[in-house]
Amino acid sequence: MSGVRSRFGATREPPGEQIDSGGINAQTSRAVRNHLRIGNYFASYEERAGNMSKRALITGVTGQDGAYLSQLLLAQGYEVYGSYRRSSSPSLWRLDALGVTKQIKPVTLDLLEFSNILKVIDKVRPHEVYNLASQSFVGVSFEQPLYTADVDALGVARLLEAVRTVDPGIRYYQASTSEMFGRARSSPQTETTAFYPRSPYGVAKLFAHWTTVNHRECYGMHASSGILFNHESPMRGLDFVTRKITAGLARIRQGQQDVLELGNLDAKRDWGFAGDYVHGMWLMVQQERADDYLLATGEVRSVRDFIDCAAQVAGFTLNWHGEGAGQHAIDRVSGKTVVRVNPDFYRPAEIDLLTGDPSKAEQQLGWKRQVSFPRLVEMMVEADLERAQKGTLGP
């Protein structure tokens, strides 16, 4: 593990990840400072000395949720092991931006390789495992359905079996998703709404969800499945629609891009802040009995709503024209087309509306989200405007 440690400790940005250069760490910007202040509610957990001796393993630590969860657990005094896939240049920009890279103990783990997983669990002997690793992009899952199933479905079975083999008393969290509801049978969705996934990603995650439930019920493991609706942040990957919008508008504002092209603007989602959602994950694992919980805001917004809100923060006033694939938005001040639909981005099977009812989590876990939709959008746009100004947003 020592070679790995030195790579994690390094300050250089990996190639291809220049979008958040060391500038954020070295010279923390206003937007990112604001954003980190929101993340700072984790600081209040430092008083809880009860977790001082706990050891957690977070798979997918380099992802959005992995970075925020690391921050939360470290603030509580956990010893945090973070797993990432072996590569010549691990993607550390999120951990760097949240200032936690050097406090995490790195381990290499790939959900495709059982012997590797088993060795890591045996070596780390965590009290809690948070499985956040996955091929998490719905769009890619249509192109790579078998790979997605291998990582997101069988990978979870491998991990749960490794945990069961080493110590079935280890507490386990599975990152499940609202995409399992797909063509939802009723709205808002709850923990008991029937599933109807509409993508290879949703299908694979559904297998993982039931595998988690099954390990709880058949083997008595403390395994919980968190059915999380979309959660975003300035740490979201650039391929996801919210970040594509905020990054695109920031580049257009800086003259680095002409127009923002998107797929289905009518899709309606339930968007929250990632920091709030990782707190919910932790609460689930602390319960005496494992269970399944849904985390959502209960508020419905369309992709177009997200664009309007983000455009306002970026200083545009949009007028919408056309219908369907002909929809486009013109900025009232410049008269230029800022957004237009590109049918190439339509998915083979669309999901029109997803929104969740988080009552069970609110009542049983005491979970409550802190960040509103407008504040979330503002946080993301401000961070991307600053990155674009500094030229660190990438192409």
Ligand X SMILES: NC(=O)c1ccc[n+]([C@@H]2O[C@H](COP(=O)([O-])OP(=O)(O)OC[C@H]3O[C@@H](n4cnc5c(N)ncnc54)[C@H](OP(=O)(O)O)[C@@H]3O)[C@@H](O)[C@H]2O)c1
Q: Please identify, using beta-carbon distances, which residue of 132 and 311 lies nearer to ligand X.
A: 132
- Kindly tell me which of 205 and 253 has the beta carbon lying closer to ligand X: 205
Distance, CA of 175 to CA of 177 (rounded, Å): 7
Catalytic residue among 179, 232, 382, 386: 179
Is residue 204 part of the contact set for ligand X (CB under 6 A)? no
Does residue 231 belong to the site contacting ligand X (CB under 6 A)? yes
Q: Is 110 in the site for ligand X (CB under 6 A)?
A: yes
For residues 190 and 357, the answer to whether their CB atoms sit within 8 Å is yes
**Residues 24-63 vs ligand X: string with x where CB under 6 A?**
-----------------------------------xx-xx
Q: Determine the interface stretch with ligand X among 20-28, 39-47, 72-80, 104-112 (rule: CB under 6 A).
A: 104-112
Tell me how many degrees the CA angle 322-325-231 measures, rounded to the nearest 5. 105
- Residue 320's beta-bridge partner residues? 329
Catalytic residue among 68, 78, 173, 201: 201
Instruction: State the nearest-atom distance from the C-beta of 302 to ligand X, in Å.
Output: 17
SS3 of residue 75 by DSSP: helix
Tell me if 85 contacts ligand X by CB under 6 A. Answer: yes
Cβ closest to ligand X, residue 167 vs residue 239: 239
Options 91, 190, 254, 337; binder of ligand X; rule CB under 6 A: 91
Q: Are 181 and 354 in contact (CB under 8 A)?
A: yes
What is the closest distance, in whole angstroms, from the C-beta atom of residue 295 to ligand X in the complex? 9
Handedness of CA 345, 60, 107, 213 (dihedral sign): negative
Query: Closest approach of Cβ 272 to ligand X, in Å?
Result: 8
Q: Is 80 helix (H, G, I), strand (E, B) or coil?
A: strand
Q: Which of these ranges, 22-30, 130-138, 184-192, 261-269, lies near ligand X under the rule CB under 6 A? A: 130-138
179 is catalytic: yes
**Helix crossing, 114-124 with 155-166: angle to 10°?**
40
Helix (H, G, I), strand (E, B) or coil at 120: helix
State phi, psi for 287 to the nearest 5 degrees: -70, 150
- Report the C-alpha gap between 236 and 388 in whole angstroms: 16
For ligand X, the binding residue among 23, 99, 237, 394 (CB under 6 A) is 237
Q: For ligand X, which is the closer residue by CB, 135 or 297? A: 135
Min dist. Cβ of residue 362 to ligand X (A): 18
Return the structure tokens found at 217.
């019920």
Q: Does 66 bind ligand X (CB under 6 A)?
A: yes
Distance spanning both ends of the chain, measured CA to CA: 34
Q: Which of 135, 211, 355, 392 binds ligand X (CB under 6 A)?
A: 135
Residue choice 21, 51, 64, 225 for contact with ligand X (CB under 6 A): 64
Any contact of residue 230 with ligand X (CB under 6 A)? yes
Q: If residue 59 lies in a helix (H) or strand (E), which one and from where to where?
A: strand 55-59
Quickly list DSSP for 133-156: -S---HHHHHH-HHHHHIIIIIHH
Residue 177 lies near ligand X (rule: CB under 6 A): yes
Please tell me which residue in 59, 62, 177, 297 is annotated as part of the active site.
Answer: 177
Beta carbon nearer to ligand X, 35 or 253: 35
CA count, 13 A, side-chain hemisphere, 331: 19
To the query of whether residue 172 is one of the catalytic residues in this protein, the response is: no
Q: Is 201 a catalytic residue?
A: yes
Answer yes or no whether residue 71 interacts with ligand X by CB under 6 A: no
Q: Is 151 in the site for ligand X (CB under 6 A)?
A: yes
The least distance separating ligand X from the CB of residue 255, rounded to whole angstroms, comes to: 29
Buried/exposed 191-227: b ≥16 CB within 10 Å, e otherwise: bebebebbbbbbbbbbbbbbbbbebbeeeebbbbbbb
Tokens of 82: 């973070």
CA distances from 328 to 140, 322, 348 (A): 25, 6, 22
Q: Which residues bind ligand X (CB under 6 A)?
A: 59-60, 62-66, 84-85, 91, 109-112, 132-136, 151, 175, 177, 228, 230-231, 237
Catalytically annotated residues: 177, 179, 201
